[in-house]
Amino acid sequence: MGYGAIDLAQLNMQRGKYEVAFDILFDAAVNDQNDDALFLLTKMTFDGNLNAEQMEKFYELQNGHTSLGNGYALFNVGLMHERGLGNVKQCYKTAVEYYQKAIKEEVKDAFCNLGNIYALGLGMEEGVPRNVELGVKYLTIGAEEGSRQCAYTLGSLYGKGEFVPLDLKKAFYFLSLAALQGHDQAKRVLHIFVHTHKENYDAEMEAAQYQFGKIQNLRLLYKCL
């Protein structure tokens, strides 16, 4: 299967026909070792579009690809351990290990999941220490390098003053950066934000637009959810 198969899978995803899309993408991933298919399967997992049987099937495939250093295979196995998807037991400590490996393979979205685990202290019971400073550092790196999930998370944290000092300027900047990249929830939150906090954010908008331009160039090299 080639480019036509990926297009067909995306069309079915848009129509909500996830079972059909999964079959097409899984076949392309197994038989053609198609990286685009692996990425879209990861996106379906992230968005919660796979059933338990599909997740188990995909997990077995991903375990084989992790040994090859496939970044999104590493990310996806980490995601399954973080959320306890399918038959995979939830384990934040294992998730952290996979996310760290995924980052080394240039998977920018792994910064978000890793940052959340540290900032929120999700893995404390498993020996992963809570470290807000480190979590924010990971989220910031991810946001600046193209993860709209990281940008949205930071915008939300700064806007609410959760785990970090309240900073409306930073909140606007990161929410704008996420919105410019098409993050729907960031767009909705930003709309409410500007009506609630009526300040001058021209400098922050200019900075977000500048960074967005840099990210667009990065996206020619890296995929982001």
Residue 225: pLDDT band (50, 70, 90) is low
In this predicted structure, what is the pLDDT of residue 224? 64
20, burial (CB in 10 Å: exposed 0-12, middle 13-18, buried 19+): middle
Q: Is residue 91 part of a domain?
A: yes
Q: Is residue 52 part of a domain?
A: yes
| pTM tops 0.75 | yes
Q: What's the domain range around 13?
A: 1-99
Total domains present in the chain:
1
Q: Is residue 57 part of a domain?
A: yes
Percentage of the chain beyond pLDDT 90 is 62
Q: Is residue 1 part of a domain?
A: yes
In this predicted structure, what is the pLDDT of residue 35? 80
Q: Is residue 33 part of a domain?
A: yes
Residue 1: pLDDT band (50, 70, 90) is very low
Q: Is residue 145 part of a domain?
A: no
Q: Is residue 138 part of a domain?
A: no
pLDDT tens-digit map of 182-195: 999 999 999 999 99
Q: Is residue 45 part of a domain?
A: yes
